[in-house]
Amino acid sequence: MINLDEPKKFRPLVSQAHQVAMNMLRPVSRTYDKGEHEYPRELDMLASMIDGLSESGAAEGAGANGVGRGDDAKAKERSQASGTKNGANLASVLSIAEMCWGDVGLLLSMPRQGLGNSAIASVANDEQLERFAGVWAGMAITEPGTGSDSANIRTTARLDGDEYVIDGEKIYVTAGDRADHIVVWASLDRDLGRAAIKSFVVPKGTPGMRVDRLEHKLGIKASDTATIIFEGCRVPAANLLGSPEVDSKQGFAGAMATFDNTRPLVAAMAVGCARASLDLTRDLLAQAGVEVDYDRPAQNQSAAAARLLEMEADWEGAYLLTLQAAWMADNKVPNSLEASMAKAKAGRVGSAVTLGCVELAGSIGYSETELLEKWGRDSKILDIFEGTQQIQQLIVARRVLGLTSAQLR
């Protein structure tokens, strides 16, 4: 039965995340925006709390480690009983949106909640899942010469005995300095194209891997963004995630499967950040005597009210597309298309809403006395990483039009 309201059973989880965001993240939000590269000590406490909640089951499987997987048989059984499942993917997007209502940069710095954790959760085998339980993993894909065309990466992994030797340079590694593990994409054989690209888990302290420098950024300054150099870095062969076979038919699919799971998460970040802007702006406008009347036509109201309504409608669309993608993942329905739709819509809505709110609030919005300007900066990365707006459109277009990557480039 169609219902698009937030699942009732996740209400405690969401309100918990909201309280954390409000009472823990917001008070230090500006501090770590100013103090770029300072370690947010408050997060250690928070991470322990989140681990505790996960173990108690109160987290509903939410978080970077919970996405994408799940017991197929169990999911099937449950969906036969009640028709549909609201599981870890929905719980994750809802709680991540809530935390990003607090602060995107801090969410990205949350120990043991890295995008590398989602990659492990998505493609690791059972032995690896167990071995890498409890790690904090950053994700290293982008290179100085390669962004969106990740099939073109130059970093290589050469099998030598029972070890892989990794060589290359990775940039823009979120939580790259603070994480204790890095999931790195490298090619087994650059002549074999995308099918040869595999991901490897590299523990920090492994000789041959070093953090070269940290970036100074437009936003999400609380999150460390690192350049990592691999020089003759040796990892056990068992650290290759998924299958070591180079299967040209399956191609890139293994590595890309991660994205189907992480894109709704990034969409949720944009949704959360934009809602922070909307909530504050709605309040500021109300104080100035402007409130939206939802029953009256927008054009009969003030321009500010009409603008706010337009942004709310745009936001709600992004939010619902995000929930849809997560719900499909929970119910084992392939969601590549919907994940990209959510990411595309949420990415652009994140920018439109946060920047629109700065404009509506005038110099209050532009000044550092409020956080609106910060959200206007933080939101931009969400339309870039884990696949830019243009990459998402490309994926959606190929799927809708039924075209291959050779036809629609």
Selected catalytic residue, list 60, 370, 373, 386: 386
Cβ 138 to other proteins shortest distance, Å: 30
Hey, what are 220's tokens? 């999400």
The residues near 127 (Cβ < 8 Å, ≥ 6 apart) are 238
CA–CA separation, 15 vs 97, rounded Å?
12
Residue placing its CB nearer to other proteins in the complex, 46 or 342: 342
Residue placing its CB nearer to other proteins in the complex, 82 or 287: 82
Residue placing its CB nearer to other proteins in the complex, 29 or 340: 340
Rg (C-alpha) for the chain, rounded Å, is 21
Residue placing its CB nearer to other proteins in the complex, 44 or 293: 293
Cβ 248 to other proteins shortest distance, Å: 23
Residue placing its CB nearer to other proteins in the complex, 7 or 176: 7
Backbone angles phi, psi at 234, to 5 degrees: -105, 125
Among 350, 372, 274, 368, smallest CA distance to 31 is for 368
**CA 348 to chain CA mean position, Å:** 15
- Catalytic (active site) residue 386: yes
CA–CA separation, 167 vs 238, rounded Å?
18
Taking phi first (over 0 means left), then psi (-120 to 50 degrees means alpha), and beta for anything else, what does residue 134 get?
A: left
Element (H, E) at 42: helix 42-56
C-beta atoms surrounding 90 within 10 Å: 28
Cβ 5 to other proteins shortest distance, Å: 7
Bridge partners (DSSP) listed for residue 146: 143
Q: Tell me the CA distances in angstroms from 162 to 112, 127, 158, 246, one per residue in order.
A: 28, 17, 10, 17
Tracing tokens 């609030």 back to the chain, one arrives at 361
Q: Please report, as ranges, the residues that interact with other proteins according to CB under 8 A.
A: 1-9, 82-84, 86, 90, 292, 294-300, 309-310, 312-314, 316-318, 320-321, 323-324, 327, 338, 341, 344-345, 390, 393-394, 396-398, 400-403, 407-409
Cβ 392 to other proteins shortest distance, Å: 8
Give, in degrees to the nearest 5, the angle at Cα 332 between 330 and 333: 110
Cβ 22 to other proteins shortest distance, Å: 22
Q: Is the Cα torsion angle 118, 262, 140, 222 positive or negative in sign?
A: negative
Cβ 319 to other proteins shortest distance, Å: 9
Taking phi first (over 0 means left), then psi (-120 to 50 degrees means alpha), and beta for anything else, what does residue 236 get?
A: beta
Catalytic residues: 386
